[in-house]
Amino acid sequence: MKQSISELHLLTGIDRRRIGRALADLTPKKGPKGALLYESTDALPALYLTPADGDTYDLTAERARLAHHQANKAALEAKALIGALVPVEEVADVVGEEYANVRAKLLSLPSKVAPSLVGLTTREIKAELDDLVREALTELSADEGAEHG
């Protein structure tokens, strides 16, 4: 069936200028009142298989690209099934929990240490604080292994 650019515009909703550019390589027939008529079996593939920027699609390349992405998706799904991948939300939850633990332990140090520091020298205070910080860090590393290991 032969269609003019105006008829193709009405059928497809594609802009007339874009239709004209997409059909530039096709040979039209002269219709009534000088209208250019295009065979719809040639015109429609030219319209729908040509992107708006004028490049043409390479069907083989597009199939290869699709197969590549499908293979990547399947590989990720397989890794997730065997537990080799961890969802980002789970990691964020664990890290957030660990940060909260670190914050709580560090904020508790002053009230825990203050009574034992009365009357000590600067060197003794520093040694006491070093011991408590190392103890808190050891607890944190031990908690991580016990909860998530």
- Give the model's confidence band at 149: pLDDT under 50 very low, under 70 low, under 90 confident, else very high: very low
The dihedrals phi and psi of 29, each to the nearest 5 degrees, come to -105, 150
* DSSP 8-state secondary structure symbol assigned to residue 57: -
40-55 core/surface letters (b: 16 or more CB in 10 A; e: else): eeebbebbeebeeeee
Query: What is the rounded distance in angstroms from the CA atom of residue 102 to the CA atom of residue 97?
Result: 9
Confidence grade of residue 68 (pLDDT, cut at 50, 70, 90):
very high
* Mean pLDDT computed over every residue of the chain: 85
**Nearest residue to 42 via CA among 24, 26, 21:** 26
Spatial contact of 140 and 105, defined as CB atoms under 8 Å apart: yes
Whole-prediction pTM value? 0.41
Task: Please give the single-letter amino acid code of residue 130.
Answer: D
Confidence of residue 79 (pLDDT cuts 50, 70, 90): very high
User: Which of 1-15, 47-61, 105-119 shows the lowest mean pLDDT across its residues?
Assistant: 47-61
Q: Which residues pair with 39 in a beta bridge?
A: 2
**For range 24-41, the mean pLDDT:** 88
The structural domains of the chain, with segments of one domain joined by +, span 2-48, 56-85, 88-148
pLDDT of residue 75: 94
Q: What's the pLDDT tens digit per position in 90-119? A: 999 998 988 888 888 888 888 888 888 889
> Does residue 81 surpass a pLDDT of 80?
yes
